[in-house]
Chain A
Amino acid sequence: MPLPPHLQPSAPPAPDRRQPVYALVGNPNCGKSTLFNALTGLKQKIGNYPGVTVEKKTGTAWSQHGQPLTVIDLPGAYSLAARSPDEAVLRDVLLGRRTDTPMPDRIICIADSTNLERNLYIVHQILDLGRPVILVLNMMDLAAQAGLDIRVARLSEALGIPVIPCEATNGRGLVELKLAMSRPDLPLPRHSWSIPAPIAAAVSELQASLVENDRRAPLIARAEALLLLTDQDTVRVAGSTTLSPRTLEIFQSWQKRWGTSGTDWAGSLVQSRYDAITGLTANVVRQATAPAGPNTSDRIDAVVTHPVWGWLVLGAVMTALFVSIFTLAQAPMDWIGNHASLLADAVKHRMAPGDLRDLITDGAIGGVGSVITFLPQILILFFFIGLLESTGYMARAAFIMDRLMSRVGLNGKSFIPMLSSYACAIPGIMATRTIEDPKDRLVTILVAPLMSCSARLPVYLLMIAALMPGNQVPVPAKVGLMLLMYALGTLGAFGFAWLFKRTLLKGEPPLMIMELPPYRLPRLRDVLQQMGGRAWIFLRRAGTFILGISIVLWFLAAYPKASAGANPAQQLAQSFAGRAGHALEPVIKPLGFDWQIGIGLISSFAAREVFVSTMGVVFNASADDKENTAPLQQAMGKARWPDGRALFTPLACFSLMIFYVFAMQCMSTIAVVKRETNSWKWPIFQTVYMTGTAWMLSFIVYQTGSALGF
């Protein structure tokens, strides 16, 4: 049987041809990023829930002739009618409206085969662009399991473009796709659909204006005219060019004319397109076997999205996560901590006393070592997050949380950004681009950093270790305290969202429409890859940023030198860092913190985990025994107030944890909030309200606890 033309080896392209640009386009969660990674060999984040990709990403794939091909992974969308900033990025790239991205020469549309009719809507709009298109039918294995028989050749014939059946997760169909991408002579689509006659005149007039005044190619102009008439085209993002005044004038005059006639022409246009798609799928999709009752995903969903059982499952998942963190990580954590101390001691015994020796042992090893100790916990956290993302459970968690979130006025789409913020607030804030309403988006940006990120984890663990020293404390007590911190952050985020939605950012109660993806078995390779990526980021950060800060902090703790005969504690007290800590002490003393903790609070404004490295540097520098390095927890246990009271009492540790739940101690987050809101007003407001709340709550906790005799 002869192969279709797009699967036959093609002639090599002319040598002077520039690198072709391919765009990957499709609905959310249809496997675009998985395919992008498979084509380019990159490790773009993937997950089994909608809205993972919110920015365009570029990589290079290679044709069968060894020619480089630029591939752009675009955010998912159900239509080119942009309702949120991430969808606007997709629309603008495809229509050539962006100044920073080349217009794609060719488009690869990815469709979820299990729901072809819905996925073909955006494909249909893209075919209007008149550019070479390859349609990839992903998840063919799941379609077959659902009893769907898709006639690929018939679909290819109807649309006039190559259609490739594919299973991106296990690489099936990739060779065929690369063969199709390698062809210099990809055919142009030849689909047709009927536009209602009264709209045709508007399309023609707008098309002519777009060609003349906005320098669009004729077919692009027609597609853009159709889009303008379907959608109000209100969402604009930085980097996109605006339409000419003449085109806008024509568009507004048609809007006015239709407004007075009272006919919903935009709706008719959408309906005509759906009619064409329905006719198409009727010919190519057959239900080979009728589904017998609810499938496995439905049966699991009956439990995990249940109003009662759903919360219990979520609680069990979170408890399992923290039990693993406290039990599995203890041995490797002790091993790393002990070896850091041994390394510091080895340096002390091999080098003569002096500043360089102190810098290496107290600054570099003390600071970096105390942070690296928490690597096992970070790995376990991201292993769990990876598992939950790849199975599809995250979307269910969003579903059950929506009930609670809608009560405080938060958009259900806010849950994915807030969930991402458990790892780091920065991708969480970027993920708010999927939220259509600007006020809802701003509220989510303002509260997302309250979710306990992974940088807080070392601080919590250090404080729990100081609060509950030794192994005699049962694990459930530690897990309970950790859950309390995460719950406090989450409840704080909900509380402030409720407040903002009723005061600063009033708006209508939002509705959520979210697709629940089918459950999939987690792919261990992807989970380990993401976990390895996080480990590398953590170690690289420890070896660069944390190391740099630790070295500078050592200097600030060691200079100016005290007079001869001063002990290490006196030296630290009169150093630059000590003076800064003393200056802050009046503000933080009511919270149970002394000037040494104050040094940590100042330095950790750069990043929260710097608090741990700062404590490492401060307590190593002030240790009386300069020849033997004690683990940080022991050194902290010996810390005292001038009157001899223990510094790290359970109440002070708890107060410090409360402070870190709410305080805005992250410069990178502030910078990203500034970028996403395009203003300094909101990051400054966010810093003030978060840190102010942190101080107030720590004050209440410490003063109440002290009054009660704790």
Chain B
Amino acid sequence: MSPELQTVVALVLVALAAGWLVRRALAKRKKPGCGSDCGCAAEKFKSSLKQ
């Protein structure tokens, strides 16, 4: 893969990662919590209450 193409692919990956992190942060703001990362009450339990 040429260096130019590598740069394009790398920047696309960075944009995707940044977009995902921003989305994750905004989602947390709507429903603050650990996002089930820490082993406390998992989201699947909480969401099932709404059904």
Q: Which residues of A contact B (CB under 8 A)?
A: 42, 44-45, 55-59, 100-101, 351-359, 423-424, 426-427, 430, 533-534, 537, 540-541, 545, 547-549, 551-552, 554-555, 667-668, 671-672, 674-675
Contacts and interface: CB of A to CB of B under 8 A. Distances in A.
Chain A CB within 10 A, most for which of B28, B29, B32: B32
Given A424-B39, A668-B35, A668-B37, A58 B49 contact: yes
What DSSP secondary structure best describes chain B's contact surface?
Answer: helix
Contact of B37 (A44, A55, A56, A541): A541
B34 A552 contact: no
Contacts of A353: 3
Given A355-B7, A356-B10, A551-B14, A426 B34 contact: yes
Contacts of A356: 1, 6-7, 9-10, 13
Number of chain B interface residues as a range: 20 to 34
B47 to A, nearest CB: 9
Chain B CB within 10 A, most for which of A55, A100, A541, A548: A548
Nearest to A101: B49
A551 B6 contact: no
A57 B6 contact: no
B3 A675 contact: no
Given A59-B45, A59-B48, A551-B17, A355 B37 contact: no
A668 B38 contact: yes
A537 B39 contact: yes
18 contacts: A45-B39, A57-B45, A101-B49, A354-B6, A355-B3, A356-B6, A358-B10, A359-B13, A424-B40, A537-B37, A545-B37, A548-B24, A551-B13, A667-B28, A668-B35, A668-B38, A671-B33, A675-B33
What DSSP secondary structure best describes chain A's contact surface?
Answer: helix
A352 to B, nearest CB: 6
A537 B17 CA distance: 20
A552 B33 contact: no
B40 A357 contact: no
Contacts of B18: 548, 552, 555
B20 to A, nearest CB: 6
Contacts of A675: 32-33
Nearest to A72: B49
B39 A354 contact: no
Contact of A58 (B17, B40, B45): B45
Nearest to A561: B7
A548 B24 CA distance: 11
Given A55-B41, A551-B13, A551-B14, A352 B34 contact: no
A329 to B, nearest CB: 20
Contact of B34 (A42, A547, A672): A672
B6 A355 contact: yes
B48 A58 contact: yes
B33 A423 contact: no
Chain A CB within 10 A, most for which of B9, B29, B41: B41
Given A56-B49, A352-B3, A537-B37, A554 B14 contact: yes
A58 B47 CA distance: 9
Given A357-B6, A552-B21, A672 B33 contact: yes
Contacts of A548: 17-18, 20-21, 24
B34 A668 contact: yes
> What 8 A-B pairs come out closest when comparing CB atoms?
A354-B6, A671-B32, A427-B40, A356-B6, A355-B10, A551-B17, A424-B38, A354-B3
A100 B46 CA distance: 10
